[in-house]
Amino acid sequence: MVKVKQRIEDFASGHELKLQEILGCHRKDSGYVFRVWAPNAQAVWLVGDFNDWNKTLAMQLTSNGVWQIKTDLPQTGQLYKFLVKQADGREVMKMDPMAVELEPRPGNAAVVTELPNKSWHDGAWLGRNKRSNHFARPINIYEVHASSWKRHEDGSLYTLRDLQRELIPYVKKQGFNYIEFLPLTAHPLDASWGYQTIGYYALERTYGTPQELQDFVEACHQENIGVLSDWVPGHFCINDDALAYYDGTPCYEFSEKWRAENKGWGALNFDLGKPEVQSFLLSSALFWLEFYHLDGLRVDAVSNMIYRDYDRGPGEWKPDKYGGNRNLEGMEFLRRLNRTIKGLHPECLMIAEESSAQVKITGRIEDGGLGFDFKWNMGWMNDILNFYQMDPLFRKYHFNLTTFSFMYRMSENFILPLSHDEVVHGKRSLMNKMFGPRDKQFAQLRNLLTLQMTYPGKKLLFMGSEFGQYLEWRYNEALDWAELNDELNSKMQYFDQKLNEFYLNEPSLWQLEQKDESVQIIDADNKDESVLTFIRQGKIRHDFVIVILNFTPVERKHFSIGVPYSGKYQEAFNTARKEFGGTWDKDVQTMTTKQEKFKNLDYQIELDLPGFSAMILKPLDAHIKRGNRRKK
């Protein structure tokens, strides 16, 4: 009892990192003990199947606002809630914030249960992952919404068991090496995609059971596929029977109404400076990483946690103590979150979804960052998608959209996201954003994905984009797999498979991403022809590729580009080839240099460049003369 009391004090001071072992439901002797934090409640009762949901089991207030009861009545599998007499006297049925399993929707009662004690068989993956330098290896993420990737013929949802049978082999075949799920935490409505969380320790029941998620992750690891999940520590669902004003007063949310209300999402913002909230969220993050062996978390909506004026108009917010717009508590919480997780699990990836450039997000905390490993490059994504939606006739006037991100690429450690957010709410699918008729749309989608795969930064692609789904994503339906009966969609899927394979096997595309020498621009000024050329460099001098992107439908014959060494070069990848859905059926091009300067390079080659194509060239052999390095 002394140990529990001490851990409750640790919770109250913000230092408990395994809160699920203290609060919630736990077997004790022949019965169960239940604990819940409701510091300003007048009374709390345990109600459930075992007492016909009546007020017969009054809980006792112990210390630090924690109520407790031990009883032999509940049986494994029965449902329960807490009936909370709130500070104003109103009695409200509340779910257990610490529940690890909930009943199926539409209810949200917790299940009396004990977590499985799994014997894991993923040691080889964990060992390799701990020894790995994430920054110097390929990361290619397939983003998935668990209930709309596929569905059964009768429309019923795939469970994690179904996904284990079908999604894992698909991802492996397509050449992705990570799966990132939209939030797996419990949520009351599919339309929120998981971002309106009610259960920070509970797996969304429509996806399956805790054991099934453990088995899924283990099966991924056995196929050398990592598993990430989105996690939402900034705001939570406003539902009255969940976390919101749990005891009738602000518990998890800010006490100041303007800070608590999240108008844009109809949610409530966590008070990230409150010690109990810190214990709650830090424990949640570690629970998903440790209990389910997840390989990292993508923290959603970081801007909402670091700016006081986020989603606020003039007069709707107050400055911080320094007169600025920083959410100082939120920033310190994020530093603590990353410091805690990286201290215990340095191999786990911490990724931020953040759209501003005022605060450094990645990098060491000691150097002024928030401690994240990677940040989504929203600027690159917005510029690139705006460019590809444009009539090619006018692209030369906006060519800087393809090149501006080179200027700041070293400012953060980036992931290049083509995510779910870009293919909903009338934005159209990735394929249907492309300008022009259908065959040209596919050509440009191949071009876009090649740009993403060759540009410095880790990669993320939302499901369905790999085969060019025409309709935008619908959360309540499966992807339109019938489209693969169309030759262009089928060839698009094959193209994505081969492109991913090329990326995973080409060290120059990922070895030196955190260094300036990773990229050498050949020509970023060819606006009139709208052709961009650059070099990606690996650790070894002759491990490099040359990337050529033609953003117009015009074929460029005898097109000249600069190269760094004399010798022969050969086409290694060409998005316009027939096997990928294009029309190019000529022989693979081999080019010999001529000694003629091109900008700051000493040599040139000529090639034929198909319209809307992306081409990747490689030196034909490794015997390029050492004396022919470009002059600096």
Q: Do 74 and 44 meet the contact criterion of CB atoms below 8 Å apart?
A: no
Q: What is the structure's pLDDT at 624?
A: 55
Report, as an integer, the average pLDDT of 251-277: 96
Q: What are phi and psi of 189, to 5 degrees?
A: -145, 130
| H/E run at residue 95 | none
Inter-CA distances, 74 with 52, 92, 108, 368, 374, Å: 11, 21, 17, 51, 45
Inter-CA distances, 549 with 336, 373, 589, 613, Å: 42, 29, 16, 6
Q: What is the structure's pLDDT at 114?
A: 87
Each residue's pLDDT tens digit, 298-310: 999 999 999 999 9
Report, as an integer, the average pLDDT of 59-66: 97
As a whole number of angstroms, the distance between CA 140 and CA 503 comes to 9
Confidence of residue 629 (pLDDT cuts 50, 70, 90): very low
Report, as an integer, the average pLDDT of 383-404: 97
Strand partners of residue 69: 34
Closest CA to 150 of 158, 140, 161: 158
As a whole number of angstroms, the distance between CA 71 and CA 68 comes to 10
Residue 395 corresponds to which tokens in the numbers above? 């692209």
As a whole number of angstroms, the distance between CA 245 and CA 223 comes to 44
Average pLDDT, the chain: 95
Q: What is the structure's pLDDT at 526?
A: 97
Q: What is the structure's pLDDT at 2?
A: 58
Report, as an integer, the average pLDDT of 509-518: 94
Q: Does residue 630 register a pLDDT over 70?
A: no
| Amino acid present at 332 | E
- Classify 492 in phi/psi space as left (phi over 0), alpha (psi -120 to 50) or beta: alpha
Confidence of residue 60 (pLDDT cuts 50, 70, 90): very high
Q: Does residue 623 register a pLDDT over 50?
A: no
Each residue's pLDDT tens digit, 535-565: 999 999 889 999 999 999 999 999 999 999 9
> What percentage of the chain carries pLDDT values higher than 90?
94
Residue 74 corresponds to which tokens in the numbers above? 């509940």
One-letter-per-residue 3-state SS of 524-575:
CCCCCCCEEEEEEECCCCCCEEEEEEECCCCCEEEEEEEECCCCEEEEEEEC
DSSP state of 233: -
Q: Do 565 and 622 meet the contact criterion of CB atoms below 8 Å apart?
A: no
Closest CA to 55 of 82, 37, 31: 82
Q: At what angle do helices 210-222 and 160-174 cross, to 10 degrees?
A: 20
Q: What is the DSSP string of 291-337?
A: HS---EEEE--THHHHBTTTT--TTS----TTSSSB-HHHHHHHHHH
Q: Does residue 122 register a pLDDT over 70?
A: yes
As a whole number of angstroms, the distance between CA 186 and CA 385 comes to 32
Pairing of strands 544-550, 531-537: antiparallel
Q: Spell out the long-range contacts of 514-517 with Cβ–Cβ below 8 A and sequence spacing 24 or more.
A: 514/135, 514/136, 514/410, 514/413, 516/410
| Amino acid present at 29 | D
Each residue's pLDDT tens digit, 79-96: 999 999 999 999 999 999
Q: Does residue 622 register a pLDDT over 50?
A: no
Q: Does residue 282 register a pLDDT over 50?
A: yes
Name the 3-class secondary structure at 212: helix
Q: Do 426 and 472 meet the contact criterion of CB atoms below 8 Å apart?
A: yes
Q: Does residue 123 register a pLDDT over 70?
A: yes
Report, as an integer, the average pLDDT of 514-531: 96
Active site residues: 300, 353
Q: What is the structure's pLDDT at 362?
A: 96
As a whole number of angstroms, the distance between CA 439 and CA 612 comes to 11
pTM across the whole model: 0.96
Report, as an integer, the average pLDDT of 379-388: 97
Q: Does residue 625 register a pLDDT over 70?
A: no
As a whole number of angstroms, the distance between CA 495 and CA 518 comes to 25
Report, as an integer, the average pLDDT of 18-25: 97
Report, as an integer, the average pLDDT of 15-44: 96
What structural domains and CATH numbers belong to the chain? 2-111 (2.60.40.10), 137-509 (3.20.20.80), 516-628 (2.60.40.1180)
Q: What is the DSSP string of 427-490?
A: S--HHHHS-SSHHHHHHHHHHHHHHHHHSSSEEEEETTGGGT-SSPP-TTS---GGGGGSHHHH
Each residue's pLDDT tens digit, 309-353: 998 999 999 999 999 999 999 999 999 999 999 999 999 999 999
Q: What is the structure's pLDDT at 621?
A: 72
> What percentage of the chain carries pLDDT values higher than 70?
98
For the chain, the residue count is 632
Q: What is the structure's pLDDT at 116?
A: 85
Q: What is the structure's pLDDT at 627?
A: 40
Q: What is the structure's pLDDT at 289?
A: 98
Each residue's pLDDT tens digit, 228-245: 999 999 999 999 999 999
Residue 163 corresponds to which tokens in the numbers above? 């996904």
Strand partners of residue 573: 616
